Amino acid sequence: MLRKGALVLVAMLFAGCGTLQQPLSPPVDEPIEIIVEEPPVVEAQPLPEPEVPEPPLPLPSVSIILTNSQPAYADVARQLTQHFDNYEIYDLSKDDRPPVTILRVINDSNPGAVIAIGLRAARSSVAMSDHPVVFSQVFNYEHHELLQKNSRGVAALPPIDAQIAAWKEVDPSVKRIGLIIGEGHEELVAAAELAAQRHDIDLVVQIARSDQETLYFFRRMIRDVDGLWLLPDNRILSSRVLQQMLAEAKQRRFPVSVPSESMLSLGAMISMTTQASDIAETIADVVRKIAAGNIEGVSPITQLSAITVKTKGDKQVVSR
């Protein structure tokens, strides 16, 4: 009985060993759930409408008055006809009608503006016109009280800084320039001094009250400066004194800058002049602003932007 029980126990042990020796089943990985998020829906924004600039206001009809038919005035009038569709041109040098008659005709025709070129035209227009006046080619406008409530002007000179830069380009060695000018041009003198500083030039300014005083200052300056800068101030520059100064400058080989190309043959070294096309374009811009109905917002004197520079021998150095 004991033997049978032992055999049963041995059989059970072997059976247990067999169970323990069976290979273990490899672990089964749980499947990974991948969640793909849908991208957010972005509504397409409409593109902004491109800004279309407003077309410039059409230019009004104008009356153009010339002091005379010299090229400096006639060239500007010719350029103005390319900007205005409706215009009438009047020449004060003709003997058939005096200024008062011409201005009476202009007032009756009711133009949008009167464009006066030269001093006589400017003085007559400012005094008698019933319509806004834009004047040009007048250097001493303050002396003649041309800036009134209903009048605006265009500068008679090329940009001051451009004149100094042009002189420096023609003669890089220039260090000291003399300027003789009449009274009443404080703003111009201040602008000239700033421009000279920017170009490392010492500007020596003398205020003259007559042509004889201009000649006196010239003869003193000629020993102390590298050149003389003349501006179109006819109050202190008579034809006689101008010719005398340029003759002496030529004899001494002293550089003089002048505001007219015609003076080069008299002994000047360099001319710095305006351009008729630039004057006309600037006038047209001023007229357009006035036509918009806000003459108070228009600068009393609008500056030009172009310059033509020539030296002896008709050599053009700069034109911009």
- The CATH superfamily holding the domain 62-156+275-306 is Response regulator (3.40.50.2300)
- In whole angstroms, what is the distance from residue 39 CA to residue 312 CA? 77
Domain boundaries, the chain: 62-156+275-306, 160-273
Q: What is the pLDDT of residue 96?
A: 78
Residues ≥6 apart with Cβ < 8 Å to 99? 92, 120, 124, 128
Whether 10 shows a pLDDT value over 60: the answer reads no
**CATH match for 160-273 among 3.40.50.150, 3.40.50.2300, 1.10.357.10, 3.40.640.10:** 3.40.50.2300
* Cut 0.85: pTM above it: no
On average, the pLDDT of the chain sits at 88
Q: Residue 6 has what pLDDT?
A: 42
Lookup: tokens for 245: 């100064």
Domains 62-156+275-306 and 160-273 share a fold: yes
Q: What pLDDT, on the 0 to 100 scale, is given for residue 20?
A: 39
Q: Per-residue confidence at 58, pLDDT binned at 50, 70, 90?
A: confident
Strand partners, 154: 302
pLDDT value at residue 17: 44
283-297 residue pLDDT tens: 999 999 999 998 999
Pick the more confident residue, 257 or 50: 257
> Following DSSP, what letter does each residue of 250-309 receive, concatenated?
HHHT--EEES-GGGGGGT-SEEEE--HHHHHHHHHHHHHHHHTT-GGGS-SEEPP---EE
Distance CA 108, CA 127 (A): 16
pLDDT in tens, 160-201: 999 999 999 999 999 999 999 999 999 999 999 999 999 999
Q: Residue 7: is its pLDDT beyond 60?
A: no
- More reliable by pLDDT, 130 or 94: 130
Q: Give pLDDT, residue 4.
A: 47
Specify whether the CB–CB gap between 93 and 67 falls below 8 A: yes
